Chains A and B, each alone.
Chain A
Amino acid sequence: MKQRKRAAVYTIVGLIVALVHIVPFYILLTVSFKDLRDMSSKWVFPGYWFTGNFVSAWQNAHLGRAFLNTGVITVLSVVLILIFGSLAAFPLARYQSRLNKWVYGIFVSALIVPPLTILVPLYKLFVDIGFMNTYFGIVLLHVTFQLSMAIFLYTSFIGTIPRELDEAAMIDGATKTGMFFRIILPLLKPVTATIVIMNANSIWNDYQFSLFFLQKPDSRTITVALSSFFGENSAQIGWIAAGSLMAAIPSILVYILLQKYFVDGIAAGAVKG
C-alpha cells in the first residue's frame, strides 16, 4: 500500500514537471498557427489551423535553400569526422608511444577551447585563404572542432577491443593498416552511431560558425536564415514561430526515433554545443 501511494505521488510530480517543461513548446505551437490579426493571448490555442505562417516563413526566409545548405554541410562534415576520427584513433589506442600520448593530449585538450575565443584570428585566416562563404571552409571548421570528441570516443572504444583479434589477423599476414580496415573498422559500428547522432545534431544546430563565416544570403544555414529573418520582420512573430518550428522538427523527430544513441553519447561524457 505504501509502495503504491509513493508511486502515485512520483507519477503526479513527474507529470507536473513535464507540464512545466512543455510550456515554451506549447506557446510556440499556438503562435505559429495563429493568424497575426488574431489578438488573443498566446495562451489561447487558436480554434483553427492557420498555415499561412509556414508558407510565408518558408518563402521569405528562403528556408528551402537554407535547409539544403544545412543538410549538405552536416552530411559532409559528419562523413569527414568519421573518416579522420577513426583513422586517428587507431594508432593512438594501439601504439602508445610517448609521442602518441602527446598527440592524444593535443587532440582532447581542444575539448575545453571554445571556438569563439579564437574568432578574430580565425576570421582573418578565413578571409586570407578565401574560405569565406564556402561549404568547404565551414565543413573543415566543423570537422576540426568536433574531431576531439570523435577521437576521444573512438580511442576509448578501440581500447576495449581485444588485442587477440589484431594478433590473429597479423598471423594471417595482414599489414597493420589492412588490419584496421578489415578487423577494427567493422567493429566500430555502435560508437560510430553515437558519434553520427551527436555531431549531426550539433552541426545542424550550429549558429555561431554559420553566422561568422557564411554571410552571403545564398550560403546561409537555417539558424542564420532565421535570425536575419527575425531582424527584418520582428513584428511578424507568427512567421518566426513557424520558421523556428520547422527548423526544430527534424532534430526532435530524430531524437524520438533514436533516443538510445543520444543517451549513450551523454553517458560517454558528451560535450554540448
Chain B
Amino acid sequence: MPRFLPPWLEEREEMKPDMMVTEAVPRKTAGMRRLAQSPVMLNWMYLPALLLFAVFIYYPFFRGLLISFTDWDGYSQALHYIGIDNYKRMLSDSRVHTVIINTLIYGVGSTLFQNIFGLLYALLLNKHGKGKTFVRVIVYIPAIVSPIIMGYIWYFLLQYNGGAINDIITAFTGKPVNLLADPKVNVWIIMVVNTYQFLGIAMMIFLSGLQGISKDYYEAAEMDGATPFNRFFNITFPLLAPALTTSIILNLIGGLKLFDVIAALTNGGPGYASASLSTMMYQLYFARQDAGLAASLGNLMFLLITAISLTSLYFLRRKELSQ
C-alpha cells in the first residue's frame, strides 16, 4: 500500500489472503459456476463509484493542471497556453502572500485553539459534576449548523451598527468599532468564529478517547502517590495521542479550506485582506474571469493542504508510536 495514504488506511488491519473465501468453494464447481464464484467477479461492485471519482474528481484535477498553464477567461472555447506565467504572477503578488498567511491563520490558528479548548472541555465534562450531557450538547450544536448560517449569526454580534458586541464596547468607550472592516482584526475574528463552531468536534473526539482509558492506570498511579499533574502528563495525555492525531488532522483540513464563514462576514474584504485561498479563487473566477490564475491558485491550495496535513500526520503518528 502506498505510504502517503491517510491514517484510517493504516488502522485497517489487513486480512490474510489465506482467509479468502475462495477456499470454501468446492472443487467440483466448474466452468461458468467457477467464474461466477471467482472473487474477481465482485469487482463490478465498485465500478459505479470508481466511474464517479474518475469523472468528478480525477478528470477535473488533471484538466485543472492544464488550465493553470493558460490565460483562459472562463468561457471562451480555445485554450491559449502561456507556460508558467500564472504561477509567476501568483507568487509575486503581495495580495496572494496575504491570502496564504490568512489561510494559515484560519487553518493552523483554529486547529490550535480548537484542540486546546476541546481538550479542556473534554476533561471538564468527562466525569465530575452535573449536567455534563447538557453542556456537551450546547458546545456541539454549532458544528451541525451550516457554516454560512453560523456566519450570519455572528454577523448580528459583530455588526458596526447595533451589533451585540459593539453594544458592550460602546458602553465602555462611548463609540462602536468597525470590527469586520479592519483587516488587522477581522482575520482573527473569522478564526474565532471557526474555532467556536467546530471545537465541539475536537471535544467529542477527546471525550471518546478519555472513555477508552482504563481506570486501572489511575488507580496504580494513585497508589504510587502521583500528583494530578503527573497523572495528566504521564497517563492521560500520552494515551490521548491517537485522538489528538484525528482531531488535529480534521481541524487542519477544515480550517485550511475555510470559505463559508468568510463569505458571510467579510466576503474576503476589504480587498483581499481577509480572504482565504478558497474565497480568493472564487472571486478571481466568477467576478474577474481570471480562470487561469484561479486554477493555479486551486493547485497551490491543493499542494498546501496535502503537504501540511500529511506532514503533521507523519509527525503525529511517529510520536504516537514512540510512546
Contact = CB atoms under 8 A, between A and B. Distances in A.
B148 A108 contact: no
Interface in B1-32: 1-2, 4-9, 11-15, 17, 19-21, 24-25
B59 to A, nearest CB: 7
Contacts of B310: 112
A108 B291 contact: no
B260 A271 contact: no
A273 B147 contact: yes
B113 interface: no
B90 interface: no
B130 A92 contact: no
A208 B201 contact: no
B101 interface: no
Contacts of A117: 64, 298-299, 301-302, 305
B163 interface: yes
Given A28-B156, A90-B45, A116-B298, A105 B5 contact: yes
B97 to A, nearest CB: 19
Interface of A: 6-11, 13-15, 17-18, 21-25, 27-28, 31, 39, 41-43, 84-85, 87-88, 90-92, 94-97, 99-114, 116-125, 140-141, 143-145, 147, 151-152, 155-156, 159, 163, 166-167, 170-171, 175-177, 180, 201, 204-208, 212, 222-223, 226-227, 230, 237, 240-241, 244, 247-248, 251-252, 255-256, 259, 262-263, 266-267, 269-273
Contact of B129 (A10, A42, A271): A10
B128 A6 contact: yes
Interface string B115-140: 00000010011001111101101111
Interface of B: 1-2, 4-9, 11-15, 17, 19-21, 24-25, 36-37, 39-43, 45-46, 48-50, 52-53, 55-61, 63-64, 67, 74, 121, 124-125, 128-132, 134-135, 137-150, 152-157, 159, 162-164, 167, 196, 198, 201, 204-205, 208, 246, 250, 253-254, 256-257, 259-260, 263-264, 278, 281-282, 285, 291, 294-295, 298-299, 301-302, 305-306, 309-310
A120 B128 CA distance: 51
Contacts of A24: 142, 150, 153-154, 156-157, 196
B129 A7 contact: yes
Nearest to B303: A117
A91 B42 contact: yes
A91 B57 contact: no
Contact of A13 (B124, B146, B278): B124
Nearest to B29: A173
B39 A94 contact: yes
A85, A96, A156: residue with the most chain B Cβ atoms closer than 10 Å: A96
B19 to A, nearest CB: 6
A215 to B, nearest CB: 10
B205 A267 contact: yes
A175 B33 CA distance: 9
Given A95-B39, A207-B263, A8 B60 contact: no
Contact of B309 (A112, A125, A201): A112
Given A207-B260, A237-B156, A271-B250, A11 B130 contact: yes
A147 B153 contact: no
A28 B137 CA distance: 18
B166 to A, nearest CB: 9
B236 to A, nearest CB: 16
A107 B195 CA distance: 29
A147 B149 contact: no
Given A117-B299, A252-B145, A140 B1 contact: no
Contact of A255 (B52, B141, B149, B299): B141
A123 B52 contact: no
Given A105-B1, A108-B6, A227-B263, A11 B129 contact: yes
